[in-house]
Structure 1
Amino acid sequence: MSPGAMGSALGRAWARGGARVVATTAGRSERTRGLAHGLDLLPDLPSVVAASDLVVSVCPPGAASDVLDAVLAAADGSTPAYADLNAISPGLAVELAARAARAGLDCVDGSISGGPPTPGGDTLVYLSGERAPWVAGLPSDGIRPRVVGDRPGTASAVKMCTASVYKGTALIWLQALATAERLGVLDVVLADLGEEYPDDVAIAARRIAMAASKSGRYVGEMEQIAATQDSAEVGSALFDGMAAAYDRVSGTPLARLSPEEARELEDLGEVLGRLR
C-alpha cells in the first residue's frame, strides 16, 4: 500500500529476494498501474491483506492514517504484521502503532532514505519496533535495512531529521534561483554558488524539477517535520514556512510534471520558467 514509484520498487526488491509480493491497483491511475509492474496484482485490498504476512504502507504522509484504517477494515479477522514506512512524525507513528495493536496487528515503524530501490542498489530503510528485526531480515535486492530501536517512533524520528535537510535544501535552491532569475542576477548567483557548491549547481535544474514534481506530497511532510520539531521544543516556524512554500510551488506548471518527466529536465531556464 500503495504501489507508486517507491512502493512498487520496494516490492520488487523483496520479490528479487524471493518473496511473493502482492498489491492492488484498484482505483489507481494508469501511471500507478504501470509502475506496479513485477508485482502480483490482486483485485482488491481485502485480497491483499488476506494473502499477506506483512502489509507495508508507503503513501503520502497525510494518507497514512486513512491507509491504516482501510487495512484494518479489510483485515476481517486476519492479523498480518503492519509496517508503516511513511514520512510521519514520531508522535503519529506511535498513535498508528497503538491503533494497529488494538486490532491485533504488530506494527513496525519504518522510514526510507534515498530513492526507490534498484537491483544492486542500496536504499536505506530504518526500522523500529519489536518485530523490526524480522522485517529487516527479509531477503531483498536493493534494500539496506537498519534497526534503530525496539519502539515505534524511533525510525520516524530519523526520517523527520534527515528529510528536513534533504527536502529543505532542495527548496532553498528552488527559492534562491527562482528569485535570482526574476531579479536578473541568475548568472552571477550561479557563478558565486559554483565556487562553493559546483556539484549542486550542475544538478540544480533536475533537483528543482524533481522537488516541484513532488511538492504536493511534500506539503504534508513539511507539516510532519514541523510537528516533530515542535515536540522537540526547537520550534515549528521554519518548516511551517516550508510547508507554505511547497504549497505555492504545487500550483505551478512545473509541479504538474510526473517525477519521471521532471527527471529528464536539464535546462535551468526552462525549469525556472515553469515555476512562474
Structure 2
Amino acid sequence: MSSGGGAGGRAAVGVVAPGAMGVALGRCLAVGGHRVLMTAAGRSASTAARLADAGIADAGSTDAVVGEASVVISVVPPGQARATADEIAASARRTGARPLLLEANAVSPATVVEVAATVRGADLAVVDAAISGPPPRPDAEHPTRIFLAGPRSGEVAALDVPGVRWVGLAGDLGAASAAKMCTASVRKGHQALLAHALLTAEHHGVLDTVLADLRLDFAHDDVRHAAAAATKAWRFVEEMEEIAATQSGAGLTPDLFTAMAEVYRHLATSEWGSRRPEDVPAGLASPSGLRPHPGGG
C-alpha cells in the first residue's frame, strides 16, 4: 500500500478516469469521508469541468493519483482497460507506490486476468470488480451494486461509500466480471432488441400496437428506454465484444453478441448516438432518431 493508509476505514482513493461513472464514484467516496484523487490531465475541457462540478480537485497527473492512493479504481470504456492498466503500472514504477488496483471495467474474465498479469510486474495486487446499475448517487434509494472477487476484495468492501453496495463473490479473479457479463448480456441485449423492434414496427405502421403489447410483459419498454441506450452505443460496442468473448470462453457461440456489437455500432451513428442520456425527453414517442445513418457503422 502507498502512504494513503489501509484500504478500510477512511482511505485515499484514486479514480482513473473521470468519465460520468468515475466522477459519480468519486463523489460518493468523498461523501464517505475518503480523500479522492482524480485528474483531467491530457483530457478534454469537458472532463475538467466535470471534475470541477463534482467539487473534486485535480491532482495534476496520473502519477499523483497513483502515488498517493491506497486504492486505485480503473473505470474506463472497456476498450481502454488494458491501456489504462499499463498506465497505472507505469505510474506505480515511477512513484514506487503499491496501491491496490480495483479493476472495475465492463470486461470479460479473460481481460481481468490479462490486466492482473500486466500490473503484476509493478507489484500491484488486483481486485476484480463489476458495476451493476447506474452511476451511484450518495442519496439514491437503491444503491448501485458493485460485485467484488479476489483474495483482497474484503479490503475494498470495508470502504464506506454511500450510494454503493459492495457484493462479495466467493470466486477468484474474473468471477465479478463474469457476473457482470451475464447480467449485461440480458439488460443491454434487450435494449438492442427493443431498438430494432421499434424501428421495424414504425416501418410497418404498427408501433402503437407493438408498444402496447410489449408493456404487458415489459412495463418499462418504450422509445425513451431505447433512445437512452443509443446515447451510450459507442461504449456498448466494446462491452458486447467482451460479452461475446466471455460466452465463447464458456463453450458457447460468440456470434450472438458479435451481432449485438454490430447493432450498437450502427445505433452509434443514429441521431441519439451523438446525444447524452439527459437529452432524451421523457415523452419521446417516435423511434425515428434511432435509425442508423445510411452507410454508418
TM-score by length of 2: 0.87
- For 1:48 and 1:89, the matched residues in 2 are separated by 26
Decide whether the 8 Å contact of 1:132 with 1:150 is kept in 2: no
Distance 2:290 2:153 in 1: 43
Match of 1:95 among 114, 118, 123: 114
Name the structure with the higher helix share.
Answer: 1
Write out aligned runs for 1:135-174 (5 A): 135-149=156-170, 151-174=172-195
| Partner SS for 2:72 | strand
- Select which of 38, 62, 71 maps to 1:54: 71
Deviation of 1:189 (Å): 1.4
AA matched with 2:119:
A
The 1:34–1:259 alpha-carbon spacing in structure 2 relative to 1, beyond 3 Å, is farther
Paired positions, count: 271
Unaligned stretches of 5+ residues in structure 1: none
Q: CA deviation at 1:103?
A: 1.4
Unaligned runs of 5+ in 2: 1-15, 293-297
Residue 275 of structure 1: how far off its partner (Å): 2.6
Q: Are the equivalent residues in 2 in contact too, given 1:25–1:32 (CA < 8 A)? A: yes
Aligned-partner residue type, residue 55 of structure 2: G
Distance 1:132 1:196 in 2: 37
Q: Which residue of 1 aligns with 2:128?
A: 109
Partner residue of 1:208?
226
Change (3 A) 1:78 1:196: closer
- Whole-Å separation in 2 of the counterparts to 1:20 and 1:41: 12
1:3 aligns with 2:18: yes
Matches of 1:165 and 1:47 in 2, distance apart?
Answer: 39
Partner SS, residue 24 of structure 2: helix
How far the C-alpha of 1:95 sits from its partner, in A, is: 1.5
- Contact 2:230-2:290 at 8 Å conserved across structures: no
Deviations 1:161-211 (A, max 9, x none): 0000111111111110011112221122122223333x224xx22211111
Secondary structure at the aligned position of 2:90 is classed as helix
Q: Post-superposition, which runs of at least 4 consecutive aligned residues in structure 1 deviate over 6 A? A: none
Equivalents in 1 of 2:55, 2:177: separation in Å?
Answer: 28
User: Aligned-pair distance for 1:58?
Assistant: 0.5
Q: 1:176 aligns with which of 172, 197, 200?
A: 197
Check conservation: 1:112, 1:124, Cα contact below 8 A: yes
Structure 2 match to 1:187:
208
One-letter amino acid of the counterpart of residue 34, structure 1:
A
Would you say 1:252 and 2:270 are equivalent positions? yes
Comparing 34-43 with 117-126, which one deviates more in the overlay?
34-43
- CA shift at 1:266, angstroms? 2.7
Structure 2 counterpart of 1:149, which letter?
A: A
Query: Partner residue of 2:240?
Result: 222
Q: What residue is the counterpart of 1:272 in the other structure? A: 288
Shift in Å, 1:30 = 3.1
Equivalents in 1 of 2:176, 2:289: separation in Å?
38
> Which of the numbers 19, 31, 55 marks the counterpart of 1:16?
31
- What is the percent sequence identity of the aligned residues? 42
Per-residue deviation, 1:34: 3.0
CA contact (8 A) 2:195 2:290 kept: no
Whole-angstrom distance in 1 between the partners of 2:252 and 2:90? 38
TM-score (norm 1): 0.94
